[in-house]
Amino acid sequence: MKEYDYLIVGAGLWGSIFAHEANNRGKKCLVIDRRTHTGGNIFCENVEGINVHKYGAHIFHTNDKEIWDYVNSFVEFNRYTNSPVANFNGELYNLPFNMNTFYQLWKVRTPEEAKEKIRQQVEEAGITDPKNLEEQAISLVGTDIYEKLIKAYTEKQWGRKATELPAFIIKRLPVRFTFDNNYFNDRYQGIPIGGYNKLTEGLLKNIEVRTGVDFFENREEFTNIAETIVYTGPIDEYFGFQFGQLEYRSLRFDNQLLDQENYQGNAVVNYTDGETPFTRIIEHKHFEFGTQPKTVITHEYPQEWVKGAEPYYPVNDDKNTAVFNQYKELAAQEENVIFGGRLAEYRYYDMHQVVGSALKKVKTHFS
Ligand code: FAD
């Protein structure tokens, strides 16, 4: 008999949910994380009473009532609605593209006028077979929206010219002919009241957790400590990078504490011009309708990923997919190891998808 039933490597959302559910089923769990805190990428740092989303702005949204009820059973969520604003050389536009945006762009007041404007621009561009992202975007929404709100932002995000990016990246562009600035179409959205750490703390209540502990520093000991390992770290690292390293797109966050109450009046402002080097400024207090005397803002800079940097967005191109599939085959052969979460599955997951995926695994594993 080993000391624990489960060793959970990674105290992010996926690992925390698995640990919670296993613990509820009477299993003895140990959760470790190499970071000095739990929560993984949803962790918030408290600065002057403001929850600062340390690894990027996180807004929970889902259409699934079960998932919504599940997270709300640990902490109540507020009514935050994501309605970003775009700043193009000082001109402000509402997002996603909706009647407010069209009025700001063209002073059109009715859906018919807006549709006609877009139709004219798409027709003038005359693109029938889009060969790259630029042509694809123009063929969908016309030149004005593309030039002011898509082009430079996308180029900054990907670090490449829009004409060098494949058309398939943009399959469709949501255009809304109502005065509705709500970014998500999902039925439920919000931020945990008191911050995301409350969600993690609720999940990990009564479970042994060790932070600042790397699985690979004591791999043998950890492998022998539990009957089953639940691994939520990078899959290539688990297998010693034997097929090469999986690539990511990374971000750099520059946080500033400002001695003023309200910097930009909105949680998210996108900078869609080509001169500004960052893509967004996040003002964290607005996620929770904060009234603190100070404020914290974060400039977000997309950047290439280098070894050792935080892996943020997987690059799911053919090359990386082929490498991942090799690791996946090895993972299927590992006995008593469960792989889960964004790093082990090398895929972008929104939080509601992580909840869904972890609960699904729990269901099959314990049935
Ligand atoms: P993680 O949170 O990464 O947890 C994995 C944990 O494993 C980490 O804490 C890591 O330290 C630990 N670990 C790895 N290797 C080891 C090891 N060897 N030993 C010990 N510990 C280890 N989703 C939304 O729904 N809405 C949003 O608005 C949103 N915004 C996002 C913004 C950004 C910039 C990014 C990158 C993601 C965003 N997401 C958002 C997605 C969300 O962050 C993820 O869905 C979720 O955090 C993934 O949880 P996870 O447990 O799979 O991974």
- Shortest-distance atom of ligand 1 to CA 354: 45
Residue 59 Cβ inside 6 Å of ligand 1? The answer reads yes
Q: Is the CB of 40 under 6 A from ligand 1?
A: yes
Closest CA to 122 of 138, 134, 137: 138
**Does an H or E element contain 253, and which?**
strand 248-258
Determine the pLDDT at residue 317: 87
pLDDT at 232 over 90: yes
Bridge-based pairing state of the strands 44-47 and 50-53: antiparallel
- The predicted model gives 227-244 an average pLDDT of 98
pLDDT at 52: 98
Cα 149 to Cα 93, 135, 152, 352, distances in angstroms: 9, 15, 8, 27
Check whether 327 has a pLDDT greater than 90.
Answer: yes
* Residue for token pair 């998210």: 268
List beta partners, residue 61. Answer: 189
Distance 357 CA to ligand 1 centre (A): 13
Interval between CA 217 and ligand 1 midpoint (Å): 21
Higher pLDDT, 309 or 187: 187
Mutate to test the pocket of ligand 1, among 232, 254, 338 (most ligand atoms within 8 A of CB): 232
Q: What is the mean pLDDT of residues 132-158?
A: 95
204 lines ligand 1 (CB under 6 A): no
CATH number for region 4-78+189-247+314-366: 3.40.50.720
Is residue 348 among the annotated active site residues? yes
Report residue 309's pLDDT band, with 50, 70 and 90 as the boundaries. Answer: confident
5 lines ligand 1 (CB under 6 A): no
Q: Is 18 in the pocket of ligand 1 (CB under 6 A)?
A: no
Ranges of each domain in the chain: 4-78+189-247+314-366, 98-169
pLDDT of 268 over the 90 cut: yes
CB-side neighbour CA atoms (13 Å) of 144: 14
> How confident is the model at residue 173, as a pLDDT?
85
Does ligand 1 lie within 6 Å of residue 56's CB atom? yes
260-271: b (≥16 Cβ within 10 Å) or e: eeebeebbbbbb
ipTM of this predicted structure: 0.99
Residue nearest to atom 49 of ligand 1 (CA): 13
DSSP letters for 290-305: ---SSEEEEEEEEEE-
Q: Catalytic: 176?
A: yes
What's the pLDDT at 319? Answer: 95
Active site residue 79: no
Return the ligand 1 atom nearest residue 41 CA: 2
252 carries an active-site annotation: no
